[in-house]
Amino acid sequence: MINDFREMTNETVIETDICIVGAGAAGISIAKYLNGSNISICLVESGGFEFEEETQSLYQGKNVGLKYFPLDTARLRYFGGTTNHWTGWCAPLDKIDFEPRDWVPYSGWPFTQKDLESYYIQAQKWCNVGPYRYQPSDWEADNFKLLALLPEKISNKLWQFSPAPTRFGIAYRAELEQATHIQVLLHANVVEVVSNQSAQVVEGVKITTLDMTKTGTVRAKVVILACGGLENPRLLLVSNRVQTTGLGNQNDNVGRFFMEHPVVNSGELITLKDSRFLANYGNITIRNGTHLKPAVSISEIAQPKYQTLNVAVMMYSDSFKEQMEGYLAAQKVFRALKSGKFADNLRHDVIHAITDLDNFAEGLYYRFRGTNKPFPHDTSISLTSLSEQTPNPNSRVLLDTEKDKLGLPRIKLDWQLTALDKRSIRITNQLIGEEFGRMELGRLQLAEWLQPEDDHFETLTGGYHHMGTTRMSEDPKQGVVDKNCRVHGLANLYIAGSSVFATSGNSNPTLTIVALAMRLAEHLKKQVVS
């Protein structure tokens, strides 16, 4: 059943077993998972079925740290949430991402990748991607070959891509509409999570329409916040009537540890041989209907050795496209060589010297003799790193003094990175440079900004991934939720979404969000029924 709160009577009180706040990937997944059980659910959503500018403006906020996207363009506030324009890149978190690593502060989840595997398998379907096969070796039989990299340094990593990524609001609307135990409540903005006087049990949530002519309450045995990685901490912080620092914030952790996936231009690779072998990396390859995109990343063996975070590097080049059409990139480079068009920074010297050492002289010899031994293929490939971010308590979501239309303080986002973040990207790219050199494939130049050993970032952007702000830890001093996503200190308040991520890995978050949502639903099924 789907209702519009604007059409209900003022001061409505809804009684339900579980109240889920937010109908995005996380909220819809939980409702969908519990559909068919006898548990009654109220899925409260701020927006309607379409984008509405006024509702979206509730998402405005300030960036006071590193340069970041305007906060109201980094997510969407209507039914289906940000999946209404997500791009569909999926990969599970890597095994190492769940492990405690003594060189990564605050690292370690209270469970392993294996514990999540059965949910990942199911999440693949809900996100409309292929089978749960993320090892490059899983695809070798399908004639999908990648470089044989030295496992002590670099490994291949696969993403799956959905050309028609699931818009959760569209894909699962009918199912929710028909579900007998589920009520979706549109245009209902949660403005407060209400607790008892000791702030140990939540009683429900307060809701209001955008024009504030209707207010109401959803009373529930269990409340789940599923409003996204920026809004979950905001709702906890504004719910400060009893616990004055904000619900669940007894240890001042709510809003801290904000993580993104730093995306940076980290360098350039010149390939001195036929670079068609790299085309698999530059393109999306389709095998058995599954869209695959590989990258290289620092291996799980190298991370402890070099004390780095988990960094992946994607390769992009126009020439990949050309090569697919049968062009030789070398011809382009030859023309550039002849016209002296190479940039100054030793580029042409490196190309000359290295090709000389690599039998280039013989190539020249053949040219003088009029025979047509092909020129070495030289292609420039740009490298984009997407990285795990160090969990950092100073990188955080704060409340501003400015308020939104509903009278709630807006967000101030103070995104911060550390020297470890930069060092990890530098070392990963250095190791890739070593591997390409060892395999006689080419030479890598680190981007200029990446060369100094400091914490200064350039060409920095993010992936629109908001993680860590209500992080998971069994120790209430180091996290906001426990291993079951329950807020420490509160018997019946849970959180869904990437705000619970203890560490971020370098995989896009939505597949993990959906898997975790299923895991939470499974936990609640047992809890609520018992």
Partner 1 sequence: MDRRQFSLTLVGYSLLGWSGLVQSSSVPSATAIVTSLFTHYESAVNLGQRYLTLFPKEANYDWLTRTTLPDGYNQLDFQILKQTLKMQRQKDFYEGNTVMLDGWILAHTEARLCALLALT
Ligand X SMILES: Cc1cc2nc3c(=O)[nH]c(=O)nc-3n(C[C@H](O)[C@H](O)[C@H](O)COP(=O)(O)OP(=O)(O)OC[C@H]3O[C@@H](n4cnc5c(N)ncnc54)[C@H](O)[C@@H]3O)c2cc1C
Q: How far apart are alpha carbons 224 and 217 in whole angstroms? A: 15
Q: Which is nearer to partner 1, 180 or 345 (CB)?
A: 345
Residues 328-367 that bind ligand X (CB under 6 A): none
Which of partner 1, ligand X, none does 345 bind, CB closer than 5 to 8 A by kind? partner 1
Judged by CB under 6 A, the stretch of 44-52, 255-263, 271-279, 382-390 that binds ligand X is 44-52
Closest C-alpha among 101, 126, 99, 115 to residue 35:
126
3-state class (DSSP) for residue 161:
strand
Which of ligand X, partner 1, none does 214 bind, CB closer than 5 to 8 A by kind? none
Size of the site for ligand X (CB under 6 A): 38
Query: Which uninterrupted H or E stretch holds 3?
Result: strand 2-4
> What's the closest the beta carbon of residue 249 comes to ligand X, in angstroms?
17
Out of 16, 35, 40, 82, the residue judged to bind ligand X by CB under 6 A: 82
Which of ligand X, partner 1, none does 509 bind, CB closer than 5 to 8 A by kind? ligand X
Interface with ligand X includes 239 (CB under 6 A)? no
Closest C-alpha among 10, 143, 97, 173 to residue 390:
97
Q: Are strands 41-44 and 396-403 parallel, antiparallel or unpaired?
A: unpaired
Q: How far apart are alpha carbons 303 and 311 in whole angstroms? A: 9
Which of ligand X, partner 1, none does 444 bind, CB closer than 5 to 8 A by kind? partner 1
Out of 61, 204, 228, 442, the residue judged to bind ligand X by CB under 6 A: 228
3-state helix, strand, coil in the chain (%, to 5): 30, 25, 45
Which 3-state string (H, E, C) describes 169-211? HHHCHHHHHHCCCEEEEECCEEEEEEECCCCCCEEEEEEECCC
Judged by CB under 6 A, the stretch of 9-17, 43-51, 208-216, 310-318 that binds ligand X is 43-51
CB atoms closer than 10 angstroms to residue 128: 16
Interface with ligand X includes 258 (CB under 6 A)? no
Interface mask toward ligand X for 171-210; x: CB under 6 A: ------------------xx--------------------
Out of 17, 45, 192, 388, the residue judged to bind ligand X by CB under 6 A: 45
Q: Are strands 12-21 and 215-225 parallel, antiparallel or unpaired?
A: parallel
Out of 88, 246, 262, 468, the residue judged to bind ligand X by CB under 6 A: 88
Which of partner 1, ligand X, none does 15 bind, CB closer than 5 to 8 A by kind? none
CB atoms closer than 10 angstroms to residue 121: 13
Out of 94, 97, 192, 231, the residue judged to bind ligand X by CB under 6 A: 231
> What's the closest the beta carbon of residue 190 comes to ligand X, in angstroms?
4
3-state class (DSSP) for residue 358:
helix
CB 101 within 8 A of CB 107: yes
**Hey, what are 356's tokens?**
């000389």
> What's the closest the beta carbon of residue 275 comes to partner 1, in angstroms?
17
**Hey, what are 439's tokens?**
């395999």
Tokens 């992080």 belong to residue: 471
Which of ligand X, partner 1, none does 228 bind, CB closer than 5 to 8 A by kind? ligand X
**Hey, what are 218's tokens?**
């959803």
Applying CB under 8 A, the residues found at the interface with partner 1 are 150, 267, 345-346, 348-354, 356-361, 364-365, 368, 430-431, 433-435, 437-438, 440, 443-448, 450-451
Out of 42, 43, 44, 313, the residue judged to bind ligand X by CB under 6 A: 44
Burial class (CB in 10 A: 0-12, 13-18, 19+), 178: exposed
Which amino acid, 196?
N
Out of 14, 20, 25, 493, the residue judged to bind ligand X by CB under 6 A: 25
Supply the angle between the helices 510-529 and 113-126 in degrees, to the nearest 10: 100
Judged by CB under 6 A, the stretch of 45-53, 113-121, 287-295, 468-476 that binds ligand X is 45-53
Q: Are strands 379-387 and 263-271 parallel, antiparallel or unpaired?
A: antiparallel
CB 199 within 8 A of CB 490: yes
Which of ligand X, partner 1, none does 23 bind, CB closer than 5 to 8 A by kind? ligand X
Interface mask toward ligand X for 476-505; x: CB under 6 A: ---------------------xx-------
Supply the angle between the helices 329-338 and 347-355 in degrees, to the nearest 10: 110
> What's the closest the beta carbon of residue 469 comes to ligand X, in angstroms?
11
Q: Which is nearer to ligand X, 55 or 380 (CB)?
A: 55
> What's the closest the beta carbon of residue 274 comes to partner 1, in angstroms?
18
Beta strands in 209-301 (DSSP E): 215-225, 263-271, 285-287, 290-298
Which of partner 1, ligand X, none does 434 bind, CB closer than 5 to 8 A by kind? partner 1
Q: Using CB atoms, what's the residue nearest to ligand X?
A: 24
Out of 18, 23, 39, 272, the residue judged to bind ligand X by CB under 6 A: 23
3-state class (DSSP) for residue 328:
coil
CB 390 within 8 A of CB 420: yes
Alpha helices in 315-401 (DSSP H): 318-324, 329-338, 347-355, 361-368
Which of ligand X, partner 1, none does 22 bind, CB closer than 5 to 8 A by kind? ligand X
Residues in contact with ligand X by the rule CB under 6 A: 21-27, 44-47, 74-75, 77-78, 81-83, 85-89, 189-190, 226-228, 231, 235, 464-465, 497-498, 508-510, 513
